[in-house]
Structure 1
Amino acid sequence: MILQTSQLTKKFGGNVAVKDVSFSIQQGKVNAIIGPNGAGKSTFFNLITGIHPPTEGQIFYKGEEITKYPANKIAELGLARTFQTTNLFERATVFDNVVVGHRLRTKSNLFDAIFRTKRLKREEETCKEKALEVLDFTGLSNVSDQLVANISQEEKKRVAFALALATEPEIVFLDEPTAGVNPDETEELALLIKKMAEKGLTVCLIEHKMQMIMSLADQIMVLNYGEKIAEGTPEEIKNNEEVIKAYLGGGSASA
């Protein structure tokens, strides 16, 4: 297991968004988190990636406790994140958006920028090479010089994937990666996620499209009202009475 949470809890005032969730992410696999709307899935992602500090509990990455680490430190360790809505520079090209991702791995400072040092020039070339590599991997080479504002929603999803991959992560957290795209595009993005896992990356995703999850995930955790109600293989989850009850019984009230 590459990452574990132990009794992770997050309270917003009197509202408990995540309650005592213990979960292990399997290395090199596609790990999925599902649950009704408002079940605490995105909040759980936010706790792991340092966007919100947990109220209680612990997070371990490769045996190191990272519970109190800020988001930038967690990203440097190799945890990348995409969001439900794509956070991209709309008036910049696809290529320029992706170049930004690899700057996380550079060492140049203000001195290098002012005097255009050899280190800066070398790192700029490295960033460009990494951008070209991930654009090819994500199938975006043909639109690399287009403005993000002018490409399709499915292509914007791929740019978000590419930006995350440019940081050279070990785990990629995908928050509803196929939201807002049609069934054919969903299938294409699912193939890209599978390709990422086959490359050796660990993937953890939140998704509402059950057919996709059941065919793609190696293991699934189910949240409802902020609590873990089930964990297992797609087949085990499909036949779990608590899961069936949670979905047929409607959504959750948690944030």
Structure 2
Amino acid sequence: MLKVEHLTKMFGGLAAVNDVSVEFGANQINAIIGPNGAGKSTFFNLISGVHQPTSGRILLEGKDVTTMRCDHVAKLGVGRTFQTTNLFETATVLDNLIVGYRLRTNSGLWDVLINSKRLQAEEKAAREKAREALDFVGLTYAENRYIADCTQEERKRVAFALALATQPKIVLLDEPAAGVNPEETEGLADLMKKMVKHGLTVCLIEHKMDMIMGIADKIMVLDHGEKIAEGTPEEVKNNPVVIEAYLGSDHDAAA
């Protein structure tokens, strides 16, 4: 599904991502872990086209997307959430999701001015797709609720639904369980498993190790921009380099 070859991103003299190569298979949950400042979000920004790499290649289903703009990458099937859930606070949940579906529409200014049949058809389709995404994430009841009135966990689910509304093949989730309690974390983990069951590929950045070890098929570990390990959860949690760099003494005590 996703293949990265010798990916590097320099900011001035600093290598935020340094010569990283990895493959993430389709219909799996793939996790990227590492200390703060390890380059995880930069890695996602490179995959999604937010940043252009200094060197290296990014292949999506065999297609080179290395230098593509983020909107073109999204149209090829890369959905994305961010650490901070940026939503339109004074708009409803449903209206926030309709924005995501706009990626797939063709109406222009003229269509808006004359209220064309194409615009009307796309508006109807956008609402239908938005409601499908809401149903998928379990938020049908909240479609008319303003974002400002949503809980943190509901906002997380709206962000998931917004990524799904772009009709992705692979979804990049940046700390999807940050700021929610253990019960809510379990619910979000179940939602990620549901995505995979419905044919999606999930890549996530997360610091909640219990969740990662319980759901990930594959884990890549970054430290100071470099890949220091990859493998199954069992392989990663027993890797002495990973324990030294990231899991640390808490892991030793729990082992």
What TM-score range do you get, normalising by the shorter chain? over 0.9
- Aligned match of 1:137: 136
Cα displacement (A) at 1:106: 0.9
Residues 46-86 of structure 1 show CA distances to partners (whole Å, capped at 9, x for unaligned) of 01111111111111111111111011111111101100010
How much has 1:7 moved relative to structure 2?
A: 0.4
Query: What does residue 96 of structure 2 align with?
Result: 97
**Which amino acid in 2 is paired with 1:228?**
K
- Where 1:42 maps in the other structure, the secondary structure is helix
Structure 2 CA distance, aligned partners of 1:79 and 1:208? 22
Aligned to 2:33: 34
User: In 1, Cα distance between the equivalents of 2:119 and 2:62?
Assistant: 34
Q: Where do residues 77-226 of structure 1 align in structure 2 (5 Å cutoff)?
A: 77-226=76-225
Q: Secondary structure at the match of 2:71?
A: helix
| 1:249/1:169 CA distance change after superposition, 3 Å | same
- Write the distance in 2 (CA, Å) between the matches of 1:24 and 1:248: 23
1:83-130 Cα distance to aligned partner (Å, 9 max, x none): 001010000000110111111111111111111111111111000000
- Aligned-residue offset at 1:222: 0.4
Tell me the secondary structure at the aligned position of residue 180 of structure 1.
coil
> Percent of pairs identical after alignment?
62
Q: 5+ residue gaps in structure 2?
A: 250-255
SS in 2 for 1:89: coil
Question: Whole-Å Cα distance in 2 between the matches of residues 21 and 69 of structure 1?
Answer: 19
Separation (CA, whole Å) in 2 of partners of 1:230 and 1:142: 42
RMSD: 1.0
Q: Which amino acid aligns with 1:219?
A: K
Cα distance in 2 for partners of 1:248, 1:126 equals 46
How does the TM-score come out when normalised to structure 2? 0.96
- Partner of 2:253 in structure 1? none
2: CA distance, partners of 1:116 / 1:142: 30
- Secondary structure at the aligned position of 1:31 is classed as strand
Which residue matches 2:232? 233
Residue 42 of structure 2 is matched in structure 1 by 43
Instruction: Indicate the SS of the match to 1:178.
Output: coil
Question: What is the deviation of 1:249?
Answer: 5.9
**Using the alignment, how far apart are the partners of 2:246 and 2:46 within structure 1?**
24
Report SS of the residue matched to 1:119.
helix
Q: d(CA) in 2 for partners of 1:34 and 1:249?
A: 13
Indicate yes or no: 2:70 matched with 1:68.
no
* Cα offset, 1:200, TM superposition: 0.7
SS state at 2:180 partner: coil
Q: Report the secondary structure of 1:190's partner residue.
A: helix
- Aligned length, in residue pairs: 249
The aligned counterpart of 1:253 is: none
Q: Which runs of 4+ in 1 moved over 3 A?
A: none
Looking at structure 2, the residues matched to 128 and 196 of structure 1 have their Cα atoms a distance apart, in angstroms, of 21
Q: Deviations along 1:138-169, whole A, 9 cap, x unmatched?
A: 01111111100001000000000001100100
* Gap runs ≥5 in structure 1: 251-255
Q: 1:158 to 1:248 in 2, by over 3 A?
A: closer
